[in-house]
């Protein structure tokens, strides 16, 4: 006999699960969904970024047993938020829920989240750890608690609607509402819910549903310092209403680190008796390599180059930056000759070079 609901055409609900190295959690999660959503017409979409632990193989094996299981595998890409966006947009169900693939979200709260949206009561229902009945025992330690609380406080400064847990990754949303907002989403980092709420033209009708957050049993968290920086960049992007694109801010910060490194290396080289020319050359090469490493791991993390492509990318990046540096000096010289204003001339040269480097990096070094 077909599993309940599986023989009927179409689904009412999609559960979108971003996952990276969650092979051990996929099977228990599907079993949990089968129990929690019994009697409903649902599907689950796992969006995996080609995890080295073979998560997608486990998903595919399950999909052969149960047609309600679907898998998407993205190659050469990384990111929780962008994975969720693609999973939701791949769905034809009118209501979509998003949850983690590591069993930390309590699937028994799914019906309450889904029904809040299905009933037309709201556009977005959010699982909250900070309303009566919710709990947050799964956060690994005091540091994660402090981080979470700080993030919530910060996010609440910019939120157009009241949310006690804007950092939640457990929510249900009307698919057409998500699709309408999708072109405005930043799509970087971990905080897709926050992105969604901040990117909507009109305030969303939101409900909160109490939920717990269980400790992780298998695998490990992917939250790291870079993800936290991406959170700051997301807020900056939304604060400035897209005027400061996320990547450009990151690229600029990395550039500043490069300038500092350049100065330090030049000083050190001079100290060891290098001529000005040698010191400058050394400083420039170190700055470029450092910038490349930082941009590859942060600014363009979602398009990170590996292996041979990383070496090719570095060569191309150094070429691009050299052209930028020559243009910088040339423009500054030209403006200085015209107006004799040293500061204005050098700032204009530097800005032009930064925009050039950024445009080339975004299009040819780290191709979309």
Nearer to Mn ion, 166 or 324 (CB): 166
State which of residues 102, 107, 123, 295 lies at the interface with Mn ion (CB under 5 A).
Answer: 102
| Minimum gap (Å) between residue 190 Cβ and ligand GDD | 5
3-state secondary structure of 16: strand
State which of residues 223, 274, 316, 348 lies at the interface with ligand GDD (CB under 6 A).
Answer: 223
What 8-state DSSP symbol labels residue 68? T
State which of residues 20, 42, 231, 251 lies at the interface with ligand GDD (CB under 6 A).
Answer: 20
State which of residues 34, 91, 148, 284 lies at the interface with ligand GDD (CB under 6 A).
Answer: 148
3-state secondary structure of 215: coil
104 in contact with Mn ion (CB under 5 A): yes
Strands of 42-48's sheet, edge to edge?
69-73, 42-48, 13-19, 95-98, 171-174, 124-128, 206-210
| Minimum gap (Å) between residue 4 Cβ and ligand GDD | 26
Nearer to ligand GDD, 223 or 354 (CB): 223
The Cα–Cα gap between 125 and 257 comes to: 41
48 in contact with ligand GDD (CB under 6 A): yes
State which of residues 14, 91, 104, 361 lies at the interface with ligand GDD (CB under 6 A).
Answer: 104
19 in contact with ligand GDD (CB under 6 A): yes
Nearer to ligand GDD, 72 or 268 (CB): 72
State which of residues 5, 18, 212, 255 lies at the interface with ligand GDD (CB under 6 A).
Answer: 18
| Minimum gap (Å) between residue 210 Cβ and ligand GDD | 15
The DSSP secondary structure of 260-328, one letter per residue, reads HHHHHHHHHHHHTT--HHHHHHHHHHHHHHHHHHHIIIIITGGG---HHHHHHHHHHHHHHHHHHHHHH
Residue 181, number of CB atoms within 10 A of its CB: 21
169 in contact with ligand GDD (CB under 6 A): yes
Q: Could you say which residues in the range 293-312 bind ligand GDD, by CB under 6 A?
A: none
State which of residues 168, 284, 296, 362 lies at the interface with ligand GDD (CB under 6 A).
Answer: 168
What 8-state DSSP symbol labels residue 256? H
Nearer to ligand GDD, 18 or 349 (CB): 18
The Cα–Cα gap between 240 and 244 comes to: 6
Residue 263, number of CB atoms within 10 A of its CB: 12
Q: Which residue is nearest to ligand GDD (CB)?
A: 169
The DSSP secondary structure of 75-105, one letter per residue, reads SS---HHHHHHHHHHT--SSEEEE--SSS-B
283 in contact with ligand GDD (CB under 6 A): no
Which among 292, 285, 176, 191 is positioned nearest to 232, based on CA atoms?
191
Phi, psi of 327 (to 5 degrees): -60, -40
258 binds, among ligand GDD, Mn ion, none (CB under 5 to 8 A by kind): none
Which residues contribute to the site for Mn ion (CB under 5 A)? 102, 104
Which residues contribute to the site for ligand GDD (CB under 6 A)? 18-20, 22, 47-49, 78-80, 83, 100-102, 104, 148, 167-169, 190, 221-223
């Amino acid at each position: 006999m077909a599993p309940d609901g599986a023989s009927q055409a179409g689904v009412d609900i999609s559960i979108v699960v971003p996952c990276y190295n969650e092979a051990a959690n996929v099977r228990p999660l599907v079993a949990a969904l089968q129990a929690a959503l019994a009697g409903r017409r649902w599907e689950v979409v796992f969006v995996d970024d080609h995890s080295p632990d073979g998560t997608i193989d486990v998903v595919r094996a399950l999909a052969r047993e149960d047609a309600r299981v679907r898998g998407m595998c993205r190659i050469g890409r990384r990111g929780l938020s962008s994975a969720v966006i693609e999973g939701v947009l791949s769905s034809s169900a009118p209501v979509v829920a998003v949850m983690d693939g590591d069993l930390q979200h309590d699937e028994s709260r799914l019906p309450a989240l889904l029904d809040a949206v299905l009933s037309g009561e709201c556009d977005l229902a959010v699982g909250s750890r900070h309303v009566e009945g919710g709990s947050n025992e799964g956060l690994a330690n005091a540091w994660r608690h402090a981080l979470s609380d700080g993030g919530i406080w910060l996010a609440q400064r910019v939120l157009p609607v009241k949310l006690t847990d804007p950092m939640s990754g457990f929510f249900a949303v009307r698919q057409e509402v998500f699709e309408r907002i999708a072109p405005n989403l930043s799509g970087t980092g971990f905080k897709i819910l926050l992105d969604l709420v901040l990117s909507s033209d009109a305030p969303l009708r939101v409900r909160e549903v109490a939920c717990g957050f269980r400790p992780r049993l298998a695998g490990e968290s992917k939250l790291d310092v870079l993800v936290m920086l991406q959170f700051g960049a997301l807020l900056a992007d939304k604060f400035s209403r897209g005027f400061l694109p996320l990547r450009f801010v990151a690229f600029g910060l990395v550039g500043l680190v490069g300038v500092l490194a350049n100065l330090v290396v030049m000083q050190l080289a001079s100290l060891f008796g290098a001529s000005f020319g040698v010191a400058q050359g050394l400083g420039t090469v170190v700055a470029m390599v450092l910038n490349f490493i930082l941009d590859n791991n942060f600014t363009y993390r979602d398009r990170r180059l590996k292996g041979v492509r990383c070496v090719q990318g570095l060569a191309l990046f150094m070429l691009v930056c050299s052209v930028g540096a020559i243009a910088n000096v040339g423009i500054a010289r030209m403006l200085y000759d015209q107006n004799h204003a040293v500061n204005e001339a050098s700032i204009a040269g530097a800005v032009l070079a930064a925009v050039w480097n950024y445009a080339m990096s975004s299009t040819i070094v780290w191709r979309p």
